[in-house]
Structure 1
Amino acid sequence: MSTRRDTVRRALNDSTGFRSAQDLYADLRGAGSKIGLTTVYRALQALSDSGEIDVLRTDDGEAVYRACATEAHHHHLVCRKCSTAIEVEGPTVEAWAANVGAQHGFSDVTHTLEVFGTCAECVAGDN
């Protein structure tokens, strides 16, 4: 499985944005790989579970995946059209989440935050 996992990881590393399992499968098959869709899903799950890749849900609920440049906690600014993603820090968000948790007596507070919009390149292409 590690060879298949490496194949999926490399495909994600070659991408600038979040990708669905089906997109990765189509790319890999188009490049001549014999990998199966179920194997792609299993590899993505294993990579996500180990923290090697990030996963988020799109507006329509689809899981999409990305290999990130950092293992440190971060958020993503994601283009709705081309799926390009930029890693961003959010110190204000971090402080807000900690404060909300503390105000309500919670500890070990975690959160997820993704910001969606349209990148400048996609906006320019629409003009």
Structure 2
Amino acid sequence: MKNPQDVFADYLSNKSLKMTPQRRLILDTFIKQNAHLSSEELYIKVKRRDKSVGQATVYRTLKLLNEAGLIEPLDFADGVTRYELSYGETHHDHLICEQCGQNIEILDTMIEKRQEELAQEHGFALLRHKMYLYGYCKDCRSKKK
């Protein structure tokens, strides 16, 4: 499997775009974080390393990284789009606390199998899916009592 930098460089080349130092910095910074980042959070981290990188460059690069299949947007129902690395990663779903925003990544083979069965029962060929489960974490539930 190719590394993300090579995948991105190939994607850009196919679009007649260049792998600029700013794009490489944004990708490398994103990968090193290993977290769910908003564009604003990524911008702050990139800006610490290179003050010349603008916020619009970060936005455009995130769009390109998504189109290249390297990252995907996440919606935790708080009005902020976050991104996570998807290339080379195992699919997972998310448990999200609506009180504190805690996010737990989960992978359950029974749920995955059942989703595939449901798709097949309805004549669908699954390409991808996202599942977000919203509720209250243990700590927030205990604070409410």
Q: Which digits, 9 at most, give the CA deviation of each residue in 1:89-108, with x for residues without a partner?
A: 33222211112222223233
Bigger-Rg structure (1/2) = 2
Q: Which digits, 9 at most, give the CA deviation of each residue in 1:19-41, with x for residues without a partner?
A: 11111112222333311111101
* Paired amino acid for 1:47: L
* Paired amino acid for 2:67: D
What's the C-alpha RMSD, in Å, of the aligned pairs? 3.1
Distance verdict in 2 for CA 1:52–1:99, change over 3 Å = same
Of residues 48, 63, 66, the one that matches 1:48 is 66
1:7 correspondence with 2:25: yes
SS class of match (2:56): helix
Q: How does 1:19-58 map to 2 (within 5 A)?
A: 19-58=37-76
Q: How does 1:67-106 map to 2 (within 5 A)?
A: 67-68=85-86, 70-76=88-94, 86=105, 88-106=106-124
Query: Normalising by the residue count of structure 2, what TM-score does the alignment of the two structures yield?
Result: 0.63
Point out which structure has higher relative CO (alpha carbons under 8 A, 6+ apart): 1
Cα distance in 2 for residues equivalent to 1:17 and 1:85: 11
Gap regions ≥5 residues in structure 1: none
Query: Normalising by the residue count of structure 1, what TM-score does the alignment of the two structures yield?
Result: 0.70
Is the Cα–Cα contact under 8 Å of residues 19 and 83 in structure 1 kept in the other structure?
no
1:16 correspondence with 2:48: no
Q: Percentage identity across aligned positions?
A: 25
TM-fit CA distance, 1:49: 1.4
- What is the number of equivalent residue pairs in this alignment? 121
Gap regions ≥5 residues in structure 2: 1-17, 140-145
